[in-house]
Amino acid sequence: MYGNIEIDAEKRSNIRPQHILFDLDGTLIDSREGITKSVAYALTHFGINVEDLSQLYAFIGPPLSDSFRFFYHFTENQAQLAVQKYRERYAVKGVKENKLYKGIENLLQNLKSNGYQLYLATSKPENFAKEIIDYFSLTSYFTFIGGSRLDNTFHDKVDVINYVLQTNHISCKNAIMIGDRKYDIEGANLAGIASIGVLYGFGNKQELQECHCTTILHTVDDIRQYFCGK
């Protein structure tokens, strides 16, 4: 470890690829308000009222249908209906209830000016992801924006990552995934690319270490220093 950067020594040779894939929720934006309020809205359809929205933070990261089944023991049909109800609110209100983490635009500017190619790889439906990135005027920084589909295509994070890599003809050896949850790191591992876990989002150090993250960074500025230097 040096500074606020922790690197697995065995994976040191994989660092600083030119193609950088970013997660969205918990990595570029603080999306807890829009997601938790939309989950709570969906749950009310089933007679479940959640007053403390922090109880729903676990929904940030994994596919929604999986979370409804895991946390509320919904059947497959119930989970799919819950996702529909979630999107009913999210498409109108939730998509605008996000905050850009401090320093993100400066980070993207620095990465682009240093020759890195930037991509979005999110489990959020691609149309929502594009709307959010455009809302924050970040679209010009990204070579490609990839997400899941409303028909449940690209359900798992590895599917989204492979979709981005294959569509853009990117070699696994020259790509790295940046995210805040184990789903991002596990997806990167399955896709055969290096990974950076960040601690300012919704995950934690133990979670990132247990899924064998290549590198752990503490802040947005740590990402800039990691790729661009002081």
Catalytic positions, please? Answer: 23
C-alpha distances in Å from residue 148, one per residue of 28, 63, 196:
17, 9, 21
Rg (CA), the chain: 17
Q: Round to whole Å and give the CA distance between 148 and 196.
A: 21
Q: Round to whole Å and give the CA distance between 169 and 50.
A: 44
Q: Round to whole Å and give the CA distance between 140 and 106.
A: 13
13 phi, psi to nearest 5 deg: -70, -15
